[in-house]
C-alpha cells in the first residue's frame, strides 16, 4: 500500500506541474493584461512602467520560473485589480463553492441511490419505468434552465426563497437543487444498472439458496460490489462540480471561487487564474487519490491488481 500511495503521489505532482505549465502558456498567449488594466489616457512610458511593476516585461521563461517558484512557496502573486495576494483571495471563496457542491452531491446521493435500489429490486415494474423516464428527463434538462425555473417559481411567483446571495443555508437551497437535478437522474440510473448486474451474479444466487433474507442478500452481498462504479462516479462528479459551478454561481450571484475565476478571466488577472487552476487541479488529484484508496478498501483485490 505504501508503494501504491507513493506512486500515486508522484503521478499527482507530475500532473499538477503539467496542468499549471499548460495553463501558464495558454493564458499568456490570450493577450496582454496591460491593454485591459491601463486607462486609455496612459502613454507608452506609463504602460511600460506598469508592465515592469507587474513583472510582465520579463521574458516568458523568466516569468515561468518566478511563477513556479511562487507555486513552491504558496505565493502566486498579487491580483492585478484588488492588489491583494491572489491565493488567499481565491481561498476565501472556496468555502462557498464547497458548501454548494457538498449540498448538491449529498442531495443527489440521498435521493438517487434509494431510487436506483428500488428500481433494481422492481425491474420493469410501473415504478421502475416511471423512474427511468424521470431520469431521462432529468438528464436532458440544461442546468441553467432548471435554475431559471426555480427562481421564477420560488422567488418571483411565491417569494419563498431568495434568488441571490450567499449569507446562510437558505441561499444555497435553489442552487444546490439546480446542480443536483441532473445528478439525481444520473445516480438513479447508475445504481440501478450496477445493482442489477450484482444481483445476477452467482454469489448472490448462492446467498439466496442458503436461505438468507432478501434484505441481507442486497445489503451484504449485492450492494458492496455495486458500490465500486458509484465511488468512481461520485469522485468524478464532485471534482467536476467543484470546478464547474460557474453558471450556477453566476445565476444565483453566489460569491464562489468559480465566479471569481470567470471575472478574472475576462480581466486577464493572471495571478487569480493561476491560483484557481492550482486549487481546482489539486482538488481533482486529491479526489482521484481518495477514490483509488476507497477502491482498495471496498474490494482489496482491486488494490492488489493496481
pLDDT in tens, 252-276: 988 899 999 888 888 878 888 888 9
pLDDT of residue 198: 80
The contacts found for 264-267 with CB under 8 angstroms, 24 or more apart, are 264/79, 267/33, 267/36, 267/37, 267/80, 267/81
In this predicted structure, what is the pLDDT of residue 217?
72
Helix, strand or coil, per DSSP, at residue 85: strand
Q: What is the DSSP string of 214-274?
A: HHHIIIIIIHHHHHHHHHHHHHHHHHHHHT--HHHHHHTT---HHHHHHHHHHHT-HHHHH
Instruction: Report how far apart, in Å, the C-alpha atoms of 99 and of each of 1, 29, 171, 256 are.
Output: 32, 34, 11, 10
pLDDT at residue number 9:
77
pLDDT digits (tens, 9 = 90+) for 126-164: 888 888 888 888 778 888 888 899 999 998 888 888 888
> What cell does 26 get?
495558454
> How many CA atoms, within 13 angstroms, populate the side-chain half-sphere of residue 44?
0
pLDDT reported for residue 304 = 47
pLDDT in tens for each of the 306 residues of the chain? 566 667 777 887 888 888 888 888 877 776 666 766 666 667 777 777 877 777 777 888 888 888 888 888 777 778 878 888 888 999 999 999 999 999 999 999 899 888 888 888 888 888 888 888 888 887 788 888 888 999 999 988 888 888 887 678 888 999 999 999 888 888 888 888 888 888 777 777 777 777 777 677 776 767 777 777 777 788 888 888 888 888 898 889 888 999 998 888 888 788 888 889 888 888 888 887 777 777 666 665 555 445
Q: Where are the beta strands (DSSP E) in the chain?
A: none
Which pLDDT score, from 0 to 100, does residue 298 have?
A: 62
Domains and CATH numbers, the chain: 1-88+268-306 (no CATH), 94-255 (1.10.3720.10)
**Each residue of 128-167: b (16+ CB within 10 Å) or e?**
beebbeebeebeeeebeebbeebbeebbeeeeebbbeebe
For residue 78, give the 3-state DSSP assignment.
Answer: strand
Amino acid at each position: 500500500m505504501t508503494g501504491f500511495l507513493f506512486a500515486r503521489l508522484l503521478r499527482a505532482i507530475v500532473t499538477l506541474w503539467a496542468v499549471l505549465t499548460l495553463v501558464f502558456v495558454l493564458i499568456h498567449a490570450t493577450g496582454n493584461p496591460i491593454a485591459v488594466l491601463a486607462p486609455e489616457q496612459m502613454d507608452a512610458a506609463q504602460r511600460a512602467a506598469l508592465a515592469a511593476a507587474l513583472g510582465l516585461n520579463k521574458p516568458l521563461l523568466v516569468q515561468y520560473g518566478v511563477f513556479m517558484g511562487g507555486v513552491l512557496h504558496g505565493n502566486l502573486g498579487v491580483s492585478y485589480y484588488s492588489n491583494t495576494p491572489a491565493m488567499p483571495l481565491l481561498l476565501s471563496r472556496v468555502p462557498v463553492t464547497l458548501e454548494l457542491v457538498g449540498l448538491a452531491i449529498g442531495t443527489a446521493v440521498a435521493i438517487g441511490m434509494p431510487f436506483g435500489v428500488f428500481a433494481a429490486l422492481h425491474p420493469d415494474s410501473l415504478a421502475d419505468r416511471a423512474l427511468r423516464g424521470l431520469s431521462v428527463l432529468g438528464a436532458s434538462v440544461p442546468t441553467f434552465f432548471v435554475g431559471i425555473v426555480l427562481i421564477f417559481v420560488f422567488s418571483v411567483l411565491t417569494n419563498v426563497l431568495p434568488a441571490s446571495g450567499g449569507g446562510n443555508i437558505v441561499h444555497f437551497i435553489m442552487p444546490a437543487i439546480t446542480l443536483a437535478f441532473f445528478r439525481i437522474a444520473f445516480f438513479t440510473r447508475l445504481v440501478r444498472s450496477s445493482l442489477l448486474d450484482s444481483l445476477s451474479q452467482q454469489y448472490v444466487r448462492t446467498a439466496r439458496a442458503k436461505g438468507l433474507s432478501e434484505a441481507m442478500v442486497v445489503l451484504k452481498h449485492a450492494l458492496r460490489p455495486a458500490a465500486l462504479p458509484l465511488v468512481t462516479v461520485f469522485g468524478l462528479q464532485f471534482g467536476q462540480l467543484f470546478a464547474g459551478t460557474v453558471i450556477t454561481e453566476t445565476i444565483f450571484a453566489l460569491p464562489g471561487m468559480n465566479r471569481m475565476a470567470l471575472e478574472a478571466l475576462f480581466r486577464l488577472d493572471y495571478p487569480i487564474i493561476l491560483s484557481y487552476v492550482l486549487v481546482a487541479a489539486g482538488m481533482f488529484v486529491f479526489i482521484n487519490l481518495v477514490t483509488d484508496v476507497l477502491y482498495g478498501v471496498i474490494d482489496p483485490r482491486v488494490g492488489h491488481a493496481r
